[in-house]
Chain A
């Protein structure tokens, strides 16, 4: 039994050694190829865009609508093309190209205009349909996001609303109170549940927190995608360091 274990360990060792050798060989090959084809000396400039902190009209999930009551049509007018433009089925003639008889030229122009208009109409319809599907299907959100989750920007938005409200209600009687509160917000922007996960022991302070939440609830918009949002917030007076 002992010998069997030893043999299997030996095989494992051999396999690992073989794997390491192959990897080293591949690495050496890559180095050699790089010497043959030296990398471009020109540096490629890369721009990083801080998408999260970009100012947006409605901060929830980068809603493309300029206002809450803006119509879909207005949004379409400013929306980018839904996808890459397909080339027209018939190639357009180059201007000032070969000579064409006036009657034929006129007919050709008419057909081309119709085709172009049809293609544009189809593109517009596709873009509109795509946007409608996004809005009705609850798939608003940051580009690349699935649209089904409440993003960190909604948390930031909620934090801002709570902070504004807390400024108006803060009141406490203990030295350094802080309370941990879990909020559940439904798809309509109503606070379903306020749960104090950690009490401050200061009833006046917790009353102020509760009042801030009530005040904020009157001003908040629904979470993106009208999904239920859950977040945990620590309320405390400015300058207080929690233990």
Chain B
């Protein structure tokens, strides 16, 4: 009898608890689509006596290009009357922008004294009528595009939670000087700068995680050897000059090791060496060719190319050489793996007739073709994973293109003559 009474009491308690839990209701608010934020960019207004509208226009155009390529905004350059008391003291009239349908507004001002340039940009939320981001930059006149890129990077950090890639530069191999040499440019092709002047074939550049050094393979001594160079220097330091090829060097995410392909034993095998070239450690042991290593962002795994099963395919292994598994299973040849900074995808080149760029999840699912026009190779992710740079031959010379990670917005960015290949992004500054 007592048991029955206890059971009844327990049931009553349970019912009351269930009633309490059920009282917390959540109402779903849903909306279709995924709209791009509309952003108006007013060219910066002059602060001092020197008025250079071309400077303001160039900064605004650089920002429009960056924001459009981010894939999150519809950015438009809009002219507006200058603020009589400057950005600091004037009150922004948001109503015209709001009624024109803009979500965000960028206004700026600049002061040019000789070659010294001071720029201030402000991002305003038109709806909440408040500034979201204010940045002031001091430098020289040649820095104005860098200021614009940097502000857009900060804007993305503010609005999307992650800094943009637009302050990064792209290193690439160009035949502009007659030989294959390494060049650097802003991500949008401006500020072209020649890095190596070896007078020989120079290929496969990679940048250290701190952005201060590069490694590359050069034939300047006849053999394809691996060299290192500080970007602030013009001295090439030999890192690996072993017999056979010393190719496709890739810096580990922590900067302490370099993975590369060596053929000192006959076929090309993957090795790890220290950043000074010492202590080679063999990772692969096969009769096939193994090369093009690409580190996972956490440094625990390496993707690479191997033809151990006949055709070249992408494989993944642990960073110590163990636990090898095949990633690509398609028909055709697969090269140039590039692990995304977020670690979830690998971009690669697939050859089946022509060369095209694909992206695949690290578990082998979601194999997706990103390019289809012309011949496209050597994808490399931007530091934030939003963009992919690649080399493309579309009705002319091979050039560097950039697209969004989903394959949209494919845009030629290199402006150098000759062929441009092997792009690689420098890390965030």
Contact = CB atoms under 8 A, between A and B. Distances in A.
Interface stretch (A30-38, A89-97, A135-143, A230-238): A230-238
Contacts of A232: 24-27
Interface string A220-243: 000000000001111111111000
Q: Tell which of A207, A234, A236 has the most Cβ of chain B within 10 Å.
A: A207
Interface string B99-121: 00001000000000000000000
A240 B72 CA distance: 20
A171 B32 contact: no
Interface string B3-42: 0000000000000000000001111111111111100000
Nearest to B4: A16
Contacts of B161: 202-204
A170 B33 contact: yes
Contacts of A235: 29-30
A231 B30 CA distance: 16
B127 A170 contact: no
Contacts of A180: 26
A63 B366 CA distance: 54
B127 A162 contact: no
B33 A9 contact: no
A235 to B, nearest CB: 5
B34 A172 contact: yes
Interface in A186-243: 202-204, 207, 211-212, 214-215, 231-240
A202 B33 CA distance: 16
A204 B160 contact: yes
A166 B29 CA distance: 8
B27 A155 contact: yes
A13 interface: yes
Interface string B25-61: 1111111111111000000000000000000000000
B32 A238 contact: yes
A214 B94 CA distance: 15
A132 interface: no
**Interface SS majority for chain B:** loop
Interface string A1-28: 0000000010011000000000000000
Contacts of B162: 203
Contacts of A44: none
A163 B25 CA distance: 17
A159 interface: yes
A241 B103 CA distance: 28
Nearest to A236: B30
Nearest to B125: A211
B159 interface: yes
A12 B3 CA distance: 13
Contact of A173 (B32, B72, B128): B72
Contacts of B30: 163, 166, 235-240
B160 A203 contact: yes
A170 B34 contact: yes
Contact of A13 (B1, B29, B125, B128): B1
A228 B159 CA distance: 31
B32 A233 contact: no
A155 B28 CA distance: 11
Contacts of A162: 29
Contact of A166 (B2, B24, B31): B31
Contact of A211 (B1, B2, B128): B128
Contacts of B128: 211, 214
A134 interface: no
Nearest to B157: A203
B258 to A, nearest CB: 33
Contacts of B33: 170, 237-238
B384 to A, nearest CB: 11
A173 B159 CA distance: 11
Contact of A159 (B1, B29, B34, B125): B29
A163 B29 contact: yes
A233 B103 contact: no
Given A12-B1, A204-B159, A211-B128, A171 B37 contact: yes
A114 interface: no
B26 A233 contact: yes
Nearest to A182: B26
A106 interface: no
Nearest to B161: A203
A171 B28 contact: no
Contacts of A237: 30-34
Q: Tell which of B24, B27, B162 has the most Cβ of chain A within 10 Å.
A: B27
A167 interface: yes
A153 to B, nearest CB: 12
A99 B37 CA distance: 88
Interface in B109-142: 125, 127-128
Contacts of A207: 159
A202 B162 CA distance: 10
A211 B103 contact: yes
5 contacts: A159-B27, A171-B36, A211-B125, A211-B128, A237-B33
Given A173-B160, A212-B29, 11 more contacts: A167-B31, A170-B35, A171-B36, A171-B37, A204-B160, A232-B27, A235-B29, A236-B30, A238-B31, A238-B32, A240-B30
Interface of A: 9, 12-13, 155, 159, 162-163, 166-167, 169-173, 180, 202-204, 207, 211-212, 214-215, 231-240
